[in-house]
Amino acid sequence: MVGNIIFRMILWDLFKVFLLSLITITGILLLAGILAEASQQGLGPRQLLAAIPLLIPSTLPYTIPATTLFAACLVYGRLSSDHEVLAIKAAGCNLIHIVTPGLILGIVMGLVTLGLYHRIIPYTHHLLRAMAFNDVEELLYGQLRKNGSLAHQQVPYAMFVKSVQGRKLLSPVFKRKTNKGVVDMVARAREAVLRVDTTNRLLLLDMKFGVATSEDGSQGHFDHKTFDVPLPAGFDKYENRRPRDMTWNELVERRGELIEEDEHIQEEIKTNSAQIGQPGARPDLPQHVANLKEKVRQVRILRQHIYVEMLMRPALSMGCFCFILAAAPVAIWFSRGDYLGSFITCFLPIVCAYYPLVLAGTNMAKESRFNEVILVFGPNVLVAFAGVALLRWLLRY
């Protein structure tokens, strides 16, 4: 009976601190980080408000483990500092019964994080990309309002404006570029309106009362003229999606496609290599083989990144349980029940030890420097091992 009451009490305290910390840290990330960056990119208030619900799931795989850790540090630190741990042990309850609610919270939050990774987070990434593409006109207007220009190495044009009034561009200058990046035409006008044709993937600029100057210096005056240029190729193609934007099923499917593509290119390399030096062989065959080898290298890099992503998702989710396993005995040992004390003595050391190892291990795994499973899951194993060792030590006293 006593054990059940203690279990519910500790679990409820953990949940309260976890929920409050999760809301606070997620809000800080959104306001201080993601939304600030979005504002710098020229997004308007309407776009920001629409993006917030889609941005929140992306932060949860990082905030959920961190808040789980902080909740364990604070709750178990309070129990120890108030001598409740000693009282519970004196009542005949084993220390394991005290730690069990935290372990259950860690398991549940780990499963929640894994579930988010399985479908919800990639789906919200897809919605964000779709929202940006469908509202690309508003995005371009936002860039012009903020910077007064539009220029990118992937697009064959540059645009400059004096100011933007509503949907009207004042004193616009439009520079069209060739495939080699050379400006072959410059158009200046009194005003213009920007439109995007998503069906034909075209950017349309309706200019009024201006003059167009060609590369040879010839000029032509116009009252109204529409210039159209293509949107960047591959703007929303499946092949350009990052591994983190894919659902678990898409990762498995894409990795299988890359394996088949690798095997196909290898066969093509063997066939073409055997023909080099043979009578009637194409003179550009060696260069073609070199290009195929480079393509194989790119395919293998992408395949490796997908494989590491498939390992990283369960590893980060598993971090919730490992954090509890380490935080509970550390918090009981240090007996700090205040927020600052728990943060400095328990939360900060574990986070500073864990996440650098995760970052280093993930980067090394992507570069295939060592066994990927060991590199990705190694930080979890180290944290869990340290927690179990300290817990065994506490059980003896």
pLDDT per residue as tens digits for the range 182-219: 788 899 999 999 888 877 778 888 999 999 988 777 88
- 184 sits in which H/E element: strand 183-197
Do residues 8 and 122 both lie within one domain? yes
289 within some domain? no
Share of the chain above pLDDT 70, in %: 88
311 within some domain? yes
SS3 per residue for 115-170: HHHHHHHHHHHHHHHHHHHHCHHHHHHHHHHHHCEEECCCCCEEEECCEEECCEEE
Q: Residue 12: what pLDDT? A: 92
Instruction: Give 292-316 pLDDT, tens digit per residue.
Output: 888 899 899 999 999 999 999 999 9
Whether 45 shows a pLDDT value over 80: the answer reads no
Whether pTM > 0.95 for this model: the answer is no
82 within some domain? yes
CB neighbour class for 390 (10 Å; exposed up to 12, middle 13-18, buried from 19): middle
Within 13 A of 200's CA, how many CA atoms are on the CB side? 9
259 within some domain? no
**CB distance 7 to 108 below 8 Å:** no
Do residues 107 and 183 both lie within one domain? no
The total number of structural domains that make up the chain = 2
Do residues 73 and 114 both lie within one domain? yes
Instruction: Give 323-347 pLDDT, tens digit per residue.
Output: 999 999 988 888 887 777 778 877 8
Do residues 318 and 372 both lie within one domain? yes
Do residues 54 and 131 both lie within one domain? yes
Instruction: Give 352-370 pLDDT, tens digit per residue.
Output: 888 899 999 999 999 988 9
Do residues 29 and 101 both lie within one domain? yes
Among 172, 195, 230, give the residue marking a domain's end: 230
Grouping H, G, I as helix, E, B as strand and the rest as coil, residue 172 is coil
Opening angle at CA 354, ends 126 and 305, nearest 5: 40
Instruction: Give 74-128 pLDDT, tens digit per residue.
Output: 999 988 888 888 888 777 777 888 899 999 999 999 999 999 998 898 888 777 7
283 within some domain? no
Domain that holds residue 194: 155-230
